[in-house]
Amino acid sequence: MANKTVTVKKGDTLSAIAKANKTTVAKILAANPKITNPSLIRVNQKIVIPVGTETSTSDVKSAAEKARLAALEKQKLQNEAKVNFLNDKSGFKDGSIPSETLGTTTSTATSTVVVPGSKITTDPATLSTTSSQTKDTFSLEQLMSRFSIAAAVIGADKSLQEALDRILGKNGEPMIEDPYLQEQIIKGTSWYQNQTDTQRQFDYAKQTNPGQFAADLQLNASEIVKKFAANGLNITAQDAIKYAELMMKQAIIQDGKVIRFDNDYINQLMAGAIDFTKNDKIGDRVVYTKLSGNLETLAQSLYKQAWDYGFPQTMSNAGFTNWFETSMKGLVGGTLNPQQVDDQLQARAKSFAPGLANLIDQGQTLRQAADPWLQAMADVWEVGDVNEIDLNDEYVQRALNSTDEKGNVAPINLYDAKKMARRSSKWDMTQNAKEEKTRIASRILQDFGFMG
């Protein structure tokens, strides 16, 4: 029976292919002598599957397997000789400098070249299994393209120039043709270690395609200006370009740490640019009436939300101002969301009116929960708009937070709330109070015979 051929798909392994075709890895290797590493197969690679023989575990020790292992050992020795040769040429006999490439994870067993001329500490055995050992001859242009290196960047970075000179054999040494070793030398430079991939791509685009780069930079700067303007904030063209460049780099390495530049970064900048000095005063309270754009809408929403929970009236002006500015910055900068603000207000409302805590927990605002008692007292005080009643009023507090003999806090009933409201000086100012006092006075005069 003729052998068949399968095409490697993404995620395939040689063992999985062998199992699916009821054969062994050893037999597949025997039928595919070009496969020297059973752990390294490529997508779309054609693999011959032997057909017509029975599968046996003893096949693992076949002559083909032994030949393959011998080939791997030979490759290991060749790589070891290559590594020793390069290290001897660089003047290193012992010791090594470990790789500290930021943004990547490298095990001790596969540590890489750190700087041009440093000792290669990679285990030679891994060179034959980490990547394909097909030799390649790279020109300077190919290396520049592969690693996003522009000519201007090479001239400005000594470590990069030395690395490329070493790879190309410009110092009288043989050219390094192994792509894996080339990659390790490039990754060992300070140019590679001290920049993120997006930083290098940014510099490459800037040097190799300045026209398109300038157009992209201008477009990104314009978007930042529009975003600031939508919030009623001003930004200079110079700052917009500076921020656009950082956004195009996306992330940089600074003092050994990765700093990211994304939408959250721009939001934080806008939060810091809010000018809270543009305000007015109503009585002793600061009001932010001079904000514009999205900030004006956000400010109005915060005022309404705070009013619903009785916030402005239940704390000092300084306390409310601090809460308002902190909330505005947090919402614009993305460190707060509306639900978190609502949770803050709910917690304060329950602390202010513990007698209504259960209603607030059910989703009512403080004013919604207190409305029946506020309406009863408004009727007594002849207040046309219940919203004009101060939640911090002594009698309102006593009506909402009455403590019984067991220490439980709850509102009093509405009848008692009305009686309590009549003890306030506000009652004395009402038309009903004046008429009632007049009737009482007339009756007393009549009783003593002073009237008719």
Say what the pTM is. 0.55
Q: Which two tokens stand for residue 213?
A: 């780069």
Tens of pLDDT, residue by residue over 124-171, are 333 333 333 344 455 666 666 667 677 777 777 888 888 888 888 887
Question: Among 151-155, 174-178, 238-242, whose mean pLDDT is lowest?
Answer: 151-155
Q: What was the pLDDT predicted at 235? A: 93
Tens of pLDDT, residue by residue over 341-388, are 999 999 988 988 898 999 999 989 999 999 999 999 999 999 888 888
Mean pLDDT value across the chain: 77
Task: Pinpoint the alpha helices (H) of 91-209.
Answer: 124-130, 140-146, 151-156, 158-168, 179-187, 190-193, 197-208
Higher pLDDT, 239 or 105: 239
Q: Is CATH 3.10.350.10 what the domain over 4-61 is classified as, yes or no? A: yes
- Which of the four pLDDT bands, split at 50, 70 and 90, describes residue 71? low
Residue 238 above 90 pLDDT? yes
Q: What was the pLDDT predicted at 94? A: 41
- Which of the four pLDDT bands, split at 50, 70 and 90, describes residue 427? confident
Q: What was the pLDDT predicted at 432? A: 85
Query: At residue 109, what is the residue type?
Result: A
Q: What are phi and psi of 280, to 5 degrees?
A: -125, 175
Query: Do β-strands 4-7 and 46-49 pair in parallel, antiparallel, or remain unpaired?
Result: antiparallel
Question: Among 80-84, 211-215, 313-317, 436-440, whose mean pLDDT is lowest?
Answer: 80-84
Residue 260 above 70 pLDDT? yes
Q: What is the mean pLDDT of residues 232-239?
A: 92
Q: What is the mean pLDDT of residues 220-239?
A: 93
Length of the chain: 452
Q: What is the mean pLDDT of residues 13-28?
A: 86
Residue 266 above 90 pLDDT? yes
**What's the angle, vertex CA 182, arms to CA 176 and CA 185, rounded to 5?**
110
Q: Check residue 406 and report its DSSP letter.
A: T
Q: What are phi and psi of 97, to 5 degrees?
A: -115, 120
Which of the listed ranges 234-243, 290-299, 384-393, 400-409 does the model predict with the highest average pLDDT? Answer: 234-243
Residue 29 above 80 pLDDT? yes
| Burial class, 391, CB count within 10 angstroms (exposed 0-12 / middle 13-18 / buried 19+) | buried
User: Any idea of the CA torsion for 159, 161, 164, 168, to the nearest 10 degrees?
Assistant: -130
Residue 236 above 90 pLDDT? yes
What does the alpha-carbon distance between residue 179 and residue 262 come to, in Å, rounded to a whole number?
A: 34
Question: Among 142-146, 210-214, 406-410, whose mean pLDDT is lowest?
Answer: 142-146
**Cβ density class 220-237: b for 16+ within 10 Å, e for less:** bbeebbebbeebbbebee
Residue 240 above 90 pLDDT? yes
Angle between the 293-308 and 210-230 helix axes, to the nearest 10 degrees?
40
- Which residues are paired to 260 by β-bridges? 251
Residue 103 near residue 155 (C-beta atoms within 8 A):
no
Q: What was the pLDDT predicted at 12? A: 84
Query: At residue 36, what is the residue type?
Result: T
Domain boundaries, the chain: 4-61, 71-194, 204-273, 280-352, 353-452
What does the alpha-carbon distance between residue 364 and residue 47 come to, in Å, rounded to a whole number?
A: 69
Tens of pLDDT, residue by residue over 428-450, are 888 887 887 777 767 776 666 66
